[in-house]
């Protein structure tokens, strides 16, 4: 991660970029298999919501899993 997290959650950290109006969520390396599964489920929900955008709900534009 290039800079310090703006928001720390139970499963990952979020970094906001005011210049582009985007945010990146990083799953922590210490995550268990269960947390990785929950993260992927969260991603699937957001991708489904992107099919019919709702105001004030984030849009997933790119995903990278290493």
CA distance 32 to 41: 14
Report the SS3 class of residue 37.
helix
Q: pLDDT tens digits, residue range 5-64?
A: 788 877 778 888 888 888 888 877 766 888 888 888 888 888 888 888 788 777 777 776
Instruction: Give yes or no for residue 65 having a pLDDT over 70.
Output: no
pTM of the model: 0.59
Separation CA 66–CA 54 (nearest Å): 29
Q: What is the pLDDT of residue 1?
A: 43
């Amino acid at each position: 991660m290039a800079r310090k997290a703006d928001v720390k959650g139970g499963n990952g950290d979020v970094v906001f970029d005011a210049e582009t109006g985007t945010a990146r969520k990083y799953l922590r390396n210490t995550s268990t298999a269960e947390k990785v599964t929950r993260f992927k489920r969260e991603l699937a929900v957001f991708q489904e919501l992107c099919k019919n955008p709702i105001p004030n709900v984030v849009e997933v534009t790119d995903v990278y899993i290493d």
